[in-house]
């Protein structure tokens, strides 16, 4: 009898501790629910269950995460989705839809939000598949949100509308569309750069409109970084950035700005904040030492020239740096945890040079 009582007591005690921990982690009760879309910059494990080459659920990824766990994040620790969630008062990003989808009928799993982002994916449905195999493209992510929206209706009834309208819809996508254009994998791209960008934007428009129709009102959007400077690209270009890719990223940002202005003039209550990750990253590159960064060309983890010729795969003898705080790039495409933290802070509370017309913290607290 005695052991039974005491183990029951221990269980109660543990669950009290656990709920205290949860309370601390989610200390900000006003934090809006987060629905997160996009590519590997936001992926927290979606691709773990896919037949995809764009995966990160193995070491050395996650080396600075809790228990050095490789979760599928393309980072040594938290990624940018986590960092934004942390600034809002959460401990990390909400869990991925795909790997947790069987749990999403229970209330506590869904009411903080869901992450749909998938590494390698883009705005166009075909983006990423030639390079990475199976990915969840943006239209499919929006369809997954529609399923979540239906469960919310079931859970919350008439309150579901206001729940969704106060939620933050965070989106980081576009890089892979631009990479795919540049590599023209199967020789099937007949459009010129301007026409292609037009197609990408028309498609982006229809997906954002669909989210609006499902009740989304607050859109926090991150545009494309100077992708011509990531080690995967510079390692094939004598260590230099590829200007054409960077120009494409700038054009993508301008076109996205126009698109969002159009959506907000057409749709009642549509609010947005657009983060210019091109400018943020360029400044980091220009004055890296004032942020304590010493290495802005080579990746911390990878293989070959600049660690940019292969992914961060311990089983394939990837090399790993020790001073991760001093690197801009974690792997051949992605920033370190430290740089994603700097980026998230800028996106959250920065001025109009970086994020406009309002910053994410203003977006979160707007009505
Ligand atoms: C893609 O490759 C095909 C076949 O080589 C070529 O005809 C086409 O012009 C290329 N497209 C672009 C945008 O470079
Ligand atoms: C970064 O430096 C380059 C070259 O010195 C300069 O042309 C560019 O304007 C700078 N960019 C930013 C965002 O400071
Ligand atoms: C990694 O290194 C070990 C020891 O040098 C070697 O036996 C193995 O073949 C290497 N594996 C790969 C994938 O290069
Ligand atoms: C951005 O966010 C901070 C914190 O909420 C706010 O005080 C500030 O005014 C904003 N910055 C700009 C330039 O809008």
Please indicate whether residue 186, judged by its CB atom, sits closer than 6 Å to ligand 1: no
Q: Choosing from 118, 207, 276, 334, which is the catalytic residue?
A: 334
Is residue 251 within 8 Å of 278, Cβ to Cβ? no
Exposed (0-12), middle (13-18) or buried (19+): which is 340, by Cβ within 10 Å?
buried
Cis ω on the peptide bond leading into residue 60 (within 30° of 0)? yes
pLDDT in tens, 247-258: 999 999 999 999
Domain residue ranges in the chain: 7-286+332-365
Assessment of whether the complete model's pTM goes beyond 0.95 = no
Ligand number nearest to the C-alpha of 358: 4
CA of 56 to the centre of ligand 3 (A): 20
Please indicate whether residue 184, judged by its CB atom, sits closer than 6 Å to ligand 1: yes
Answer yes or no: 121 catalytic: no
Closest CA to ligand 4's atom 8 = 349
Ligand number nearest to the C-alpha of 195: 1
Closest CA to ligand 1's atom 11 = 189
Closest CA to ligand 1's atom 4 = 187
- As a whole number of angstroms, the distance between CA 172 and CA 329 comes to 18
Mean per-residue pLDDT, 35-52: 97
Pairing state between β 319-320 and 271-275: unpaired
Nearest to 361 by CA among 48, 74, 85: 85
Answer yes or no: 40 catalytic: yes
Q: Which of 183, 188, 190, 199 to mutate to test the pocket of ligand 1 (most atoms within 8 A of CB)?
A: 190
Closest CA to ligand 1's atom 6 = 187
Q: Which of 31, 362, 366 to mutate to test the pocket of ligand 4 (most atoms within 8 A of CB)?
A: 362
Q: What percent of the chain has a predicted confidence (pLDDT) above 70? A: 91
Q: What is the pLDDT of residue 96?
A: 95
Give residue ranges with CB within 6 A of ligand 3: 316-317
Exposed (0-12), middle (13-18) or buried (19+): which is 43, by Cβ within 10 Å?
buried
Is residue 274 within 8 Å of 265, Cβ to Cβ? no
Closest CA to ligand 2's atom 7 = 286
Q: How confident is the model at residue 103 (pLDDT cuts 50, 70, 90)?
A: confident
Is residue 86 within 8 Å of 131, Cβ to Cβ? no
Is the domain spanning 7-286+332-365 CATH 3.40.50.1110? The answer is: yes
Q: Which of 317, 318, 319, 320 to mutate to test the pocket of ligand 3 (most atoms within 8 A of CB)?
A: 317
Bigger pLDDT: 94 or 27? 94
CA of 338 to the centre of ligand 3 (A): 30
Bigger pLDDT: 30 or 311? 311
- Compute CA 309 distance to the chain's CA centroid, rounded to the nearest angstrom: 23
Q: What is the pLDDT of residue 87?
A: 98
pLDDT in tens, 191-226: 999 999 999 999 999 999 999 999 999 999 999 999
Q: Which atom of ligand 3 is nearest to the CA of 315?
A: 13
In order, the DSSP letters of 111-171 are TTEEE---TT--SSTTTTHHHHBS---HHHHHHHHHHHHHHHHHHHGGGHHHHHHHSEEEE
Answer yes or no: 247 catalytic: no
Q: Is the pLDDT of residue 20 over 60?
A: no
In residues, how long is the chain? 367
CA of 220 to the centre of ligand 4 (A): 15
* 86 CB-near residues (< 8 Å, 6+ apart): 78, 92, 344
Going through the chain in order, the beta strands assigned E by DSSP cover 34-38, 113-115, 168-172, 218-222, 271-275, 295-299, 301-302, 319-320, 327-329, 355-356
């Amino acid at each position: 009898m005695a052991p039974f009582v005491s183990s029951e007591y221990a269980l109660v005690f543990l669950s009290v501790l656990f709920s205290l921990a949860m309370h601390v982690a989610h200390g900000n009760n006003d934090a809006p629910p987060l629905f997160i879309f996009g590519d590997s910059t936001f992926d927290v494990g979606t691709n773990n269950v896919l037949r995809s080459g764009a995966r990160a659920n193995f070491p050395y990824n996650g080396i600075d995460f809790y228990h050095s766990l490789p979760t599928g994040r393309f980072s040594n620790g938290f990624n940018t989705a986590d960092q934004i969630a942390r600034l809002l008062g959460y401990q990390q990003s909400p869990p991925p839809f795909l790997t947790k989808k069987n749990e999403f009928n229970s209330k506590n799993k869904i009411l903080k939000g869901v992450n749909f982002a998938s590494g390698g994916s883009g705005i166009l449905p075909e983006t990423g598949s030639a390079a990475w195999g199976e990915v969840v493209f943006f239209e499919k992510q929006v369809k997954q949100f529609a399923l979540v929206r239906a469960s919310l209706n079931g859970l919350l009834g008439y309150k579901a509308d206001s729940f969704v309208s106060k939620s933050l819809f965070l989106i980081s996508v576009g890089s892979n569309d631009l990479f795919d254009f540049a590599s023209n994998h199967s020789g099937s791209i007949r459009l010129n750069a301007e026409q292609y960008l037009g197609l990408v934007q028309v498609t982006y428009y229809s997906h954002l409109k669909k989210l609006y129709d499902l009740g989304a009102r607050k859109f926090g959007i991150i545009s494309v970084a100077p992708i011509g400077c990531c080690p995967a690209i510079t390692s094939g270009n004598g260590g230099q950035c590829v200007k054409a890719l960077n120009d494409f990223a700038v054009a993508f940002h301008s076109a996205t700005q126009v698109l969002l202005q159009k959506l907000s003039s057409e749709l009642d209550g549509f609010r947005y904040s657009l983060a210019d990750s091109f400018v943020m990253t360029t400044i980091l590159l220009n004055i890296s030492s004032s942020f304590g960064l010493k290495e802005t060309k080579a990746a911390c983890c990878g293989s070959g020239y600049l660690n940019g010729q292969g992914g961060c795969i311990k089983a394939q003898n990837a090399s790993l740096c020790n001073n991760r705080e001093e690197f801009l790039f974690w792997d051949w495409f992605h920033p370190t945890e430290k740089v994603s933290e700097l980026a998230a802070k800028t996106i959250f509370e920065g001025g109009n040079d970086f994020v406009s017309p309002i910053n994410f913290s203003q977006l979160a607290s707007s009505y």
